[in-house]
Amino acid sequence: MSIHSMAASHAAGKGSEPDSVFAVVSRVREAQKQPDADQIVDGSIGAIFDEKGQFSILPVVNELYRQLTPDDLMNYATITGSPEFLQAAIDYTFQGFQPAGTIAKAVGTPGGTGAIRSMIYNYLNNGETVLIPDWYWAPYKTIAEENQRRAETYTMFDEDLKFSTTDLKAKVKALLQKQDNVLVLFNTPGHNPTGYSMSLEDWSDLIPFFKACALETGKHIVIGLDMAYVDYCGDPIEARRFLGMFKDLPENLFVAIAFSMSKSFLVYGMRSGALIGFSTSAEIMNDFSNIHSFSGRGTWSNGSRGAQQLLAKIVRDPALTARANKERQALAQLVIDRANIFVREAAEAGLRILPYFGGFFITIPAKDPKALAKKLEEEKVFLVPMAKGIRLAVCAVPKSKMPGLAGRIKKAMDAIEG
Ligand SMILES: Cc1ncc(COP(=O)(O)O)c(C=O)c1O
């Protein structure tokens, strides 16, 4: 046979590299069949597992979902999402920090992933580039490439591992020279894979910068906020405070937020989220609803009705909201407790890690991440190798397995790097 693929030229070779996370997950599954499976430290997957290694849920979500009527569960959602769901997504996202004088709208999507797809597709032309940090969630690049766009990275931390906007600003300026549209994607707070949360100071530096760029060039600039981990970064209200800073924006500077139910309600598999935008212009917001609804119709049609009904029910009922918050907060504290053990021991062991403030992951920079991950796997420690480091999913590793882990990683690193 001389034909090896029936794909059109733009699709040729796609998907030949295995997903780095799921490759580790499948090796963990193999290791779990061995007699010493209790020795495994599984820091690969981005879902919360409790201290007994059980998949964690919010019990209130489980109860409510099972009480939904067949119609609520199985009928179609509308293309945009039900009005109750859209309002709930907006209220839940801002929690009091919607910038004054703005109109907010939402369009339902399958998870935050769908919202990010809608941003990348609709705010960039074919062949244009989305700007992301050099430590990034791999699907950003996949989504860009799948939609015939590109992803370019900026250096997120300086040599002292402090967040830096120097390269980010330079790359924005350079893109403004080349493109009509600039989309910059931020995953904050609780960035995956590092756990970095941008501070109010970071935003007081960046918002005026973006405003000036918009006013000077007249080009379309979109700040994309991926807030998947916002509820796992200390006080969830404080974690949203930065949203109130996006006020008095020029017309050509827009903020789009990817809201995800996956982590906030621990319903990863239900595939529910929304793209949320806000502006002082009713016209811009009508256009926002139109373009993203059309885009949804042309890709996944609509979201998951059951998950949408669930969010609407919880957010409009203060008692249910309080229960969900309490249950989530207990799990968020568990993740933070695990992270605290690791961060403290890393400092003691002299293991350099990227600044962690919350979220599901901690990252350890490494010269040869693949070799380090392989060496650790020999000791049954499963972490995800990335381009410049390895990622530890603190959401998945019980506290009992945290002590000594930083030291083991440091030892393995010293053996490799000398
Ligand atoms: C950085 C980041 N953004 C967005 C998501 C969105 O997930 P979902 O599509 O399940 O809402 C995830 C999930 O792992 C993530 O890690």
Helix H segments across 218-266?
261-264
Residue at 140 is within a domain: yes
Residue at 345 is within a domain: yes
pLDDT for res 341: 98
Instruction: Tell me: do 87 and 186 sit in the same domain.
Output: yes
Residue at 12 is within a domain: no
Tokens of 245: 């800073």
Name the residue at shortest CA distance from atom 15 of ligand 1. Answer: 228
| Beta strand pairing call for 103-109 and 273-279 | antiparallel
Q: Is the CB of 385 under 6 A from ligand 1?
A: no
Domain that holds residue 250: 77-316
CATH number at residue 392: 3.90.1150.10
Contact yes or no for 223/276 (Cβ under 8 A): no
Instruction: Tell me: do 189 and 237 sit in the same domain.
Output: yes
DSSP 380: T
CA nearest to 196, candidates 244, 163, 152: 163
Place of tokens 């529910």: 272
Q: Is the CB of 369 under 6 A from ligand 1?
A: no
Tokens of 261: 């139910």
Instruction: Tell me: do 162 and 89 sit in the same domain.
Output: yes
Cα–Cα distance, 257 to 255 (Å, whole number):
7
Q: What is the mean pLDDT of the chain?
A: 96
Among 273, 292, 316, give the residue marking a domain's end: 316
Helix H segments across 250-281?
261-264
pLDDT tens digits, one per residue of 299-356: 999 999 999 999 999 999 999 999 999 999 999 999 999 999 999 999 999 999 999 9
Instruction: Tell me: do 248 and 396 sit in the same domain.
Output: no
Among 316, 337, 356, give the residue marking a domain's end: 316
Helix (H, G, I), strand (E, B) or coil at 376: helix
| pTM tops 0.75 | yes
Instruction: Find residue 254's DSSP bridge partners.
Output: 222
CA nearest to 280, candidates 120, 141, 99, 156: 99
Cα–Cα distance, 215 to 192 (Å, whole number):
31
Residue at 1 is within a domain: no
pLDDT tier, 104 (very low <50, low <70, confident <90, very high otherwise): very high
Distance 415 CA to ligand 1 centre (A): 34
Tokens of 96: 């009091």
Count of structural domains, the chain: 2
Q: Is the CB of 273 under 6 A from ligand 1?
A: yes
Cis peptide before 403 (omega within 30 of 0): no
Residue at 270 is within a domain: yes
pLDDT for res 18: 78
- The CB density around residue 309, as the number of other CB atoms within 10 Å, is 23
Distance 44 CA to ligand 1 centre (A): 15
DSSP calls for 157-224:
B-TTS-B--HHHHHHHHHHHHH-SEEEEEEE-SS-TTT-----HHHHHHHHHHHHHHHHHH--EEEEE
Instruction: Tell me: do 283 and 185 sit in the same domain.
Output: yes
pLDDT for res 138: 93
Name the residue at shortest CA distance from atom 7 of ligand 1. Answer: 112
Nearest atom within ligand 1 for CA of residue 110: 9
Instruction: Tell me: do 35 and 184 sit in the same domain.
Output: no
Mean of pLDDT values over 105-132: 98
pLDDT tens digits, one per residue of 47-97: 999 999 999 999 999 999 999 999 999 999 999 999 999 999 999 999 999
Instruction: Tell me: do 392 and 407 sit in the same domain.
Output: yes
Cα–Cα distance, 314 to 64 (Å, whole number):
9
First CA to last CA across the chain, in angstroms?
48
Instruction: Tell me: do 30 and 140 sit in the same domain.
Output: no
Residue at 348 is within a domain: yes
Cα–Cα distance, 114 to 228 (Å, whole number):
12
Q: Is the CB of 137 under 6 A from ligand 1?
A: yes
Instruction: Tell me: do 250 and 109 sit in the same domain.
Output: yes
Among 262, 283, 316, give the residue marking a domain's end: 316
Mean of pLDDT values over 160-187: 98
Q: Is the CB of 189 under 6 A from ligand 1?
A: no
Distance 259 CA to ligand 1 centre (A): 9
CATH number at residue 183: 3.40.640.10
pLDDT for res 417: 84
**Crossing angle for the helix pair 139-146 and 111-122, to the nearest 10 degrees:** 50
Distance 240 CA to ligand 1 centre (A): 18
Residue at 71 is within a domain: no
Residue at 93 is within a domain: yes
What is the distance of C-alpha 297 from the center of its chain?
A: 23
Name the residue at shortest CA distance from atom 6 of ligand 1. Answer: 112
Instruction: Tell me: do 368 and 284 sit in the same domain.
Output: no
Instruction: Tell me: do 250 and 106 sit in the same domain.
Output: yes
Name the residue at shortest CA distance from atom 3 of ligand 1. Answer: 228
Instruction: Tell me: do 380 and 408 sit in the same domain.
Output: yes
